[in-house]
Each structure stands twice: as structure tokens, then as C-alpha cells.
Amino acid sequence: MSPDTAPILSVSEVVKRFVLRRTLGDRLARRPGLTQTAVDHVSFELAHGEILGLAGGSGSGKTTLARMLIRLVEPDEGRIIFRGSDVRDAGGRGLREVRRQMQMVFQDPYSSLNPRMRVGAAILEAGRVHHQPGAENGTSFVERILDLVRLPASAAQRRPQELSGGQRQRVAIARALAVGPEVLIADEAVSALDVSIQTQLLNLFLDLRDELGLSIIFVAHQLSVIAEVADRVAIMHEGRIVEIGSTVDVFHHPTHDYTRALLAAHPHPRPPAPTGGVA
């Protein structure tokens, strides 16, 4: 495989078990206690410039898998090869660099935004911490990043609580972009928003992929959201990827019973564009 076609991220056989309960008897006998396998030998690849959807019911392991990619949750087994190196081997500075290059966007923008900090200051801080080019010229850096997320320059003076939910999510994306990532991991990033605002944000993710060449992992329990944005989709069930393929194929010709059940429970996903593909 030539370097150009090599995936930016290659995940193989990752496992996460959570200890549910460890009794005194377990401790004395040095038994691990009752565990639950939240992610069970999951493998997938993410191509450069690809948007991979991750769908599945509540508790299927989507968030655990997403967080393991940057070791916010430590994997128990498996390999996570990002740009040629295993994320699991990364130490202090290496792990910080992995976390700069793979940025997470969460459902609740408040979790990543300081409510007391104005938007411009938050963007600038992120850029400066990671020595991003241009971050020393405050205003133009902030304006450029705000422009990427289609917010006016005046948004720099606002605080998060003065913004609408959609605007706030744009700011969270802006802050992620300010550090110059190559991958965005969006975990239910539009799930809490109205459908019309959702569509605007999904279009933003598509534009960012095209303009910046970002690769995106898009976690969502709403299949309609995945249908609008993802080139390929992985369906998770009980910690495993039960089906993975192009979004058009999986939604129109599901091969796994669970995928069929999921589609039957969400009967009207907005159909993916027939021309959708990896840019």
C-alpha cells in the first residue's frame, strides 16, 4: 500500500472491559471481579478525507470506542495505528500530539468551553497552546477560524451562554480547529439540536472535510444524521461492529439482522446522495 492510500487511522481488535463490581471475595482471591465488555474486538480503518459514521443503539459502545482512539479511555487490547504509530505506545508529549491531531467534539459544547471565557480568547488560547501558525496575530487568527465555522468576526466578543445551541456547537468546532487537527471525532455532536440546525451543522462538517481535507468519525444514534454526512457507516451492536460499508449500500441493502432492525426502528433516514464517496 503506498503512503498516499494508507489509512490515516487503522484500528484492529480493540477491546475495552469495564469492571462492574469487585467484591471483597474477589479481592482476596485476586479475581478481577464482574466485567462488561463494552468494546469487543473492533477493527476498522479511516481513510484520509473520509467521513465514517458510527451508528448503533444506546450502550453499544460507540462513545467508549471513540474515546479509546485518543486514550481518554485506555484500551485493554488491540492496536490503534495513527499516521503509522500505535497510539497505545505514545507517552506524555507523543500523546499530547495525538490529542492535538485528533480532536473530539462532544454533544454538549459546555463540556469543552469555559463559560467565563469569550469566544475569541478561547480560540486564541487553543491555538497558542499548540503553537499554531498565525496564533500570535490574535485578531486575524480568530477571524480566520470563526470564518471556517461560518461565524461572524463579532462572535469573538461573545461568551458561550450568549449563543444559541447551534452557534455554541460551531464555537466548539472552531476551538477544535484552532489547534490544527487532521481528524475530528464528533460524538453525538448534532444530536441535541433541531433538525434544521442539524442540517446546517452537517453541511459544515462536509465543507470542513472538503476545505481542510479533514478525516471525520461521526458518532450518532440517529441514522438520518449518518445518512446525510457519512461516506461509510459502521453499525455497532453489543460492543462489536456487525456491519461496515458504504452508507448507500448499508442503508439500502443491510446484510445483518441488527442493521435491519435499526433501520426498521428509524424508518425514514434521509437518503444518502447517490454520488457520495470518499473525496
Residues that bind ligand ATP (CB under 6 A): 18, 36, 38, 56, 58-64, 221
Q: For residues 56 and 120, which CB has a smaller minimum distance to ligand ATP in the complex?
A: 56
Q: How many CB atoms lie under 10 A from the CB of residue 213?
A: 11
Q: For residues 34 and 273, which CB has a smaller minimum distance to ligand ATP in the complex?
A: 34
Residue 56's binding partner among Mg ion, ligand ATP, none (Cβ under 5 to 8 angstroms by kind) is ligand ATP
Site string for Mg ion, 35-64 (x = CB under 5 A): ---------------------------xx-
Q: Is 107 in the site for Mg ion (CB under 5 A)?
A: no
174-191 burial, b for 16+ CB within 10 Å, e for fewer? bbbbbbbbbbbbbbbbbe
Rounded-to-integer distance, Cα 205 and Cα 218, Å:
9
Residue 18's binding partner among Mg ion, ligand ATP, none (Cβ under 5 to 8 angstroms by kind) is ligand ATP
Rounded-to-integer distance, Cα 199 and Cα 193, Å:
9
Q: For residues 20 and 28, which CB has a smaller minimum distance to ligand ATP in the complex?
A: 20
Which among 162, 24, 21, 179 has a CA at the least distance from the CA of 98? 179
Size of the site for Mg ion (CB under 5 A): 2
Nearest approach, Cβ of residue 77 and Mg ion (Å): 21
The C-alpha torsion from 43 through 233 and 75 to 26, rounded to 10°, is -100
Q: Are 269 and 221 in contact (CB under 8 A)?
A: no
Q: For residues 5 and 58, which CB has a smaller minimum distance to ligand ATP in the complex?
A: 58
Nearest approach, Cβ of residue 52 and ligand ATP (Å): 15
Nearest approach, Cβ of residue 55 and Mg ion (Å): 11
Residue bearing cell 498516499: 4
Q: For residues 48 and 221, which CB has a smaller minimum distance to ligand ATP in the complex?
A: 221
Residue 64's binding partner among Mg ion, ligand ATP, none (Cβ under 5 to 8 angstroms by kind) is ligand ATP
Residue type, 25: G
Nearest approach, Cβ of residue 166 and ligand ATP (Å): 21
Q: For residues 63 and 132, which CB has a smaller minimum distance to ligand ATP in the complex?
A: 63
Instruction: Summarize as ranges the residues that interact with Mg ion (CB under 5 A).
Output: 62-63
